[in-house]
Copies of this chain bind each other. A is one copy, B any other.
């Protein structure tokens, strides 16, 4: 199998949120009203132009407080063991997180955001604009999630 060599990623900024304790961090951005901010490294400032035209952005980041992983986990919203890749559980072989947040303002290299569900100090890897035409799927089946034990 090709291409299984290691790659390096380097954070381009940091995500600030009110959450310093995993147990009090919201499960998923859609379950959060909390405000936060992204501080992007000044070297990347020019790359932020035009972002303010978008109401929502996708943040790709590191679950920096996750160590190790299990291939079968109990999701936060269920009480049965599930395959890790069928969950959004943070401890993963590559601990990469993904959240869609509201972008309320851009002030230079600072992005003001709402609906944060990550820990304070989370290292940011990438920002992408959320584009409904690319990112919305309807009529989806969601397996165990539809019959989960926790609502």
Residues of B within 8 A of A4 (CB): 10-11, 14, 41, 123
Asked if A149 is at the interface of the complex by the 8 Å CB criterion, the answer is no
Q: Are A47 and B12 in contact (CB under 8 A)?
A: no
Residues of B within 8 A of A126 (CB): 85, 92-94, 96
CB < 8 Å neighbour of A56 from B9, B48, B94, B140: B140
Interface residues in A, total, Cβ within 8 A = 76
Q: Which residues of A contact B (CB under 8 A)?
A: 1-14, 28-30, 39-41, 44-56, 58, 60, 62, 64, 71-72, 82-88, 92-94, 96, 98, 100, 121-123, 125-145
SS class of chain A's interface: helix, strand, loop or mixed?
mixed
Say yes or no: A137-B100 contact (C-beta < 8 A), given A8-B8, A51-B86, A94-B9: yes
Q: Are B94 and A72 in contact (CB under 8 A)?
A: no
- A28–B30 Cα gap in the complex (Å)? 24
Q: Are A62 and B7 in contact (CB under 8 A)?
A: yes
